[in-house]
Structure 1
Amino acid sequence: MNTTPEEQAMGRAGQPEAGIEEKPVKTRPWARYVAKQIDLLLLYFVPVLIVGFLVGLTGLFVEPLGYWLDDVLYSDYSYFFDLALGVITILTIYPLVEAAIISGIGSTPGKSLMGISLRTTDGSKLGFGQALRRTYGALILGLGMGLPILTLVAHVLSYNRLKENGITRWDAGTQTRYLSRAVNPFRWIVGIAIAVLVVLANVVLAIAARLGSF
């Protein structure tokens, strides 16, 4: 049976399940959203916790830093400190990790779960530089760098563009081909559960930081 170039481009990034056809798609925004939330949990929140732990650990052994951290974390500026730590992480560590994974396997944990992979226009895997540019484009234009309010605006604008044009700005700008296949309901259940967990965690942490609970 003949296969399309798009089907060939998927390669080993995700073989279709039995009886499920693999095909290129232009939108599927909710699958994208769920996949991104999973990736944020694994590739963003975990690094944030690690960075926060290392900063705190350093403060235990470097006395001036320890005093400074105590002053900041228990002051009215703790929310802004947490926000700055998150923004720095999402603009440095997260892009490097995601780009390395995409250039290596052509997908990410979240995208793999939701049957999504990324390829160049000639069907090959993205190089690290191309994947890094795409990740930064998605972070800035799609996530608003994780900043409150700006994130919501970015979500709405990128969703509308995707529905109208069939492609996101970061995919178009990096000449990335977005490939997808249908997945079974179990994957959707797992993906949605993780996405909801990430959203709730964001809300709880934001409220706690505002109230000075941490």
Structure 2
Amino acid sequence: MWHFVENEVPVGPVTEQEMIDRIRGGRLKPTTLVWSEGLTSWESAESIETFKRLFRATPPPLPTAPKTPPLPAFSSKRPIFADDVKTYDPTDLPLQRAIVAKGSPWSRYAARLLDQVIWAVPAVFVLLVIAAITQNPWFINLLSNQVAAILMIMPLFGLFNALTMTFFGNTIGKTIMGVNVRPENGRKAGLSFYLLRELKVLVFGMGIGFPIVAFFTQLYQHKKVKIEGQATYDRDLAEVNVYFTSKIRMGVVLTCAFLAAAYLNSPAGEALGYPLGQAAYTLVSSFR
């Protein structure tokens, strides 16, 4: 994976093929700074063997004699030495403009967990509305089973996330944690794209909602993001960037999300089902 500098802002990671396409399209110049794992510092694109052949060879400018007058003895100025020049580093930029490498799996996990807590009550309300409309005893009894309720709620989380990102550009959790999702390979960022990604996250990232399966799928995806910078469900589909990380913010978000989840699964949280059920029944009755 490669990174490059555009308008003094580092961009990446991108694949080698995307770099080649940018060079051929004239969007990446020979002097553009690039970096990849294995390089000790940022290098110009024309100095990389893989890209050198793509640039049209041009003769260098004719050498000219230096015209630097000697500094006066009383001047406070001094010549600039090589040690004075600092290597370009993306971390020198403001944190909110720099993309954090490797995808930061814990930031992504905290963002999704926060979104799920936010959508928990609306998702339960939707299921209660369906129960009030159908008045099916089997479906109503199914809602009282915690595992079955989770399996029904998980797809609603994905639907809510897809709708929110389509109309507002991002979810609340991702905005707070600095996470951004965008299509790869020129795809259009529409509802179908976000629905497809949420479906893949549900199956390959969340194990459809089965607790034991979800533990292993999340552990596997965490390893993939940590090592490769991309989850398997995002491969050839989406690019996920994390624009800032904060251990304090992550700790606060995870703590609040876990406490909220514990409350919703406690007897006090389950008691919310009664007023929600009443509200759902009243809403459905008003349309009959």
TM-score normalized by the length of structure 2:
0.53
Q: Secondary structure at the match of 2:235?
A: helix
| CA deviation map 1:111-139 (0-9, x unaligned) | 10001111223688722111111111111
Q: Secondary structure at the match of 2:211?
A: coil
User: Larger relative contact order (C-alpha < 8 A, sep ≥ 6)?
Assistant: 1
Within a 5 Å distance, the mapping from 1:40-59 to structure 2 comes to 40-43=116-119, 45-54=120-129, 57=132
In structure 2, the residue matched to 1:33 is 109
In structure 2, the residue matched to 1:192 is 254
In structure 1, the residue matched to 2:192 is 129
User: Percent identity among equivalent residues?
Assistant: 22
Q: Kindly provide the amino acid, as one letter, of the partner of residue 28 in structure 1.
A: S
| CA deviation map 1:122-177 (0-9, x unaligned) | 68872211111111111111111111211111111111222232210121141x11
CA drift of 1:33 comes to: 1.0
Cα distance in 1 for partners of 2:235, 2:123 equals 30
In structure 2, the residue matched to 1:114 is 177
Work out whether 1:104 is the aligned partner of 2:180: no
CA drift of 1:54 comes to: 2.7
Change (3 A) 1:2 1:165: closer
Change (3 A) 1:157 1:97: same
Cα distance in 1 for partners of 2:224, 2:260 equals 24
CA drift of 1:19 comes to: 4.0
In structure 2, the residue matched to 1:2 is 8
In structure 2, the residue matched to 1:148 is 211
Q: Secondary structure at the match of 2:239?
A: strand
| CA deviation map 1:10-35 (0-9, x unaligned) | xxxxxxxx942421532311111111
Worse-matched range after superposition: 104-113 or 50-59: 50-59
Change (3 A) 1:114 1:152: same
Change (3 A) 1:158 1:122: closer
Within a 5 Å distance, the mapping from 1:138-177 to structure 2 comes to 138-174=201-237, 176-177=238-239
- Is the 1:47–1:89 Cα contact (8 Å) retained in structure 2? no
Structure 1: gaps (5+ residues): 8-17, 209-214
CA drift of 1:95 comes to: 2.0
Q: Secondary structure at the match of 1:182?
A: coil
- Is the 2:103–2:241 Cα contact (8 Å) retained in structure 1? no
Cα distance in 1 for partners of 2:245, 2:230 equals 21
- Is the 1:6–1:123 Cα contact (8 Å) retained in structure 2? no
Change (3 A) 1:186 1:125: farther
Work out whether 1:83 is the aligned partner of 2:147: yes
Q: Secondary structure at the match of 1:149?
A: helix
Q: Kindly provide the amino acid, as one letter, of the partner of residue 243 in structure 2.
A: R
Change (3 A) 1:188 1:164: closer
Structure 2: gaps (5+ residues): 1-6, 14-92, 271-288
Cα distance in 2 for partners of 1:107, 1:196 equals 22
